[in-house]
Amino acid sequence: MSTVLVPGPVASGVPDKPVGAEVVVIGLGPAGAQWLTPEARTELAAATDIVGYATYVNRVPVRPGQRRHATDNRVEAERAEFALDLARRGSRVAVVSSGDPGVFAMASAVLETRADRGYDDVPVRIIPGLTAAHAVASRVGAPLGHDFCMLSLSDQLKPWPVIAERLEAAAAADLVIALYNPASRSRRRQLEDAREILLRYRKPETPVVVGRAVGSDAESVRVVTLDELDTAEVDMRTLLIVGSSRTRAHGSTVFTPRSY
């Protein structure tokens, strides 16, 4: 039942392309082999080339004859163009992402680059994966059990006023909020500001799930309240889930009932 994305019209003048040349953007799921889907495993095995951020490439088992292109490059568009270029020259390229590649990750970077830099002749498929928020949620119960949103707090690609407006809208509409990219070494202010915005709409005792490196040996998952959330403890590997007015902390579990 794999639906191949039909590539756009082939640009004239492009030489014959080997059969099977394509880019497959693959979600590895959060850290740990327990969440890698059979589909993703099969696609990884069929690739001639693995492309991705070094941390993610290192999660793919080494296979003889398979080339590995681990980059420290933070510019996603460049990594995407590198992959599309390899495929155009005949490779079956797996671009690997942690979690789901369609959530704040490589899938849209590859598709945008394909559309805007003349790679419509290169077929691209996306293989979904478990995104971090659901893994973190499962560790404490079901905080995402009712209407929720997933927002990135990074202002590298969008201006802070847009982020602030979205936080306000989500908070006012009483959605549970999963925060991706809450902070990095240099980016510390955003989470402080976000917490202030949220506290205008949510009670201080609102449960907040602080999940770090879920699925890895370094995993830690803690439940705190919004007013006791220590933003200094949050880094790039952390994902936060902020409860709605209905989210309940009961013993060591946190869940949001479906009824409102």
- Which among 203, 202, 192, 133 is positioned nearest to 163, based on CA atoms? 192
Selected binder of a second copy within 94, 144, 223, 240 (CB under 8 A): 144
Q: How far is the CB of 213 from a second copy (least distance, A)?
A: 10
Q: Shortest distance, CB of residue 180 to a second copy, whole angstroms?
A: 9
Confirm or reject binding of residue 148 to a second copy (CB under 8 A): yes
Alpha helices in 61-159 (DSSP H): 76-88, 106-116, 132-140
Q: Which is nearer to a second copy, 49 or 243 (CB)?
A: 243
Per-residue mark of binding to a second copy, 83-122 (x: CB under 8 A): -----------------xxxxxx-xxx-xx-xx----x--
Min CB(201)–a second copy separation in Å: 11
- Residue closer to a second copy (CB basis): 54 or 169: 169
Question: Rule CB under 8 A: is residue 124 a binding residue for a second copy?
Answer: yes
The dihedrals phi and psi of 49, each to the nearest 5 degrees, come to -135, 135
Residue at 21: amino acid letter: A
Pick from 86, 137, 198, 242 the residue near a second copy by CB under 8 A.
137
Q: Does 141 bind a second copy (CB under 8 A)?
A: yes
Question: What residues numbered 14-53 form the site for a second copy, per CB under 8 A?
Answer: 27, 29, 32-39, 42
Rounded-to-integer distance, Cα 248 and Cα 131, Å? 23
* 156-185 residues near a second copy, rule: CB under 8 A: 157-159, 162, 165-166, 168-170, 172-175
Question: Helix (H, G, I), strand (E, B), or coil: what is residue 34?
Answer: helix
- Mapped onto helix, strand or coil, the DSSP state of residue 228 is helix
CB of 87 to a second copy, least distance (A): 15
Give backbone dihedrals phi and psi of 72, rounded to 5 degrees, phi first.
Answer: -100, 5
Q: Using alpha carbons only, what angle is made at residue 81 by residues 85 and 19, rounded to the nearest 5 degrees?
A: 35
Question: What is the C-alpha to C-alpha distance for residues 219 and 22, in angstroms, rounded to an integer?
Answer: 35
State which of residues 215, 238, 239, 240 lies at the interface with a second copy (CB under 8 A). Answer: 215
Residue 222 found at the interface with a second copy (CB under 8 A): no
Smallest distance, Å, CB 67 to a second copy?
25
Pairing of strands 220-225, 253-255: unpaired
- Helix ranges restricted to H, the chain: 38-46, 54-57, 76-88, 106-116, 132-140, 160-172, 189-201
Residue with tokens 């794999």: 2
Q: In angstroms, give the least distance from the CB of 148 to a second copy.
A: 6
Which residue, 52 or 143, has its beta carbon nearer to a second copy?
143
Residue 54 or 75 having the CB closest to a second copy: 75
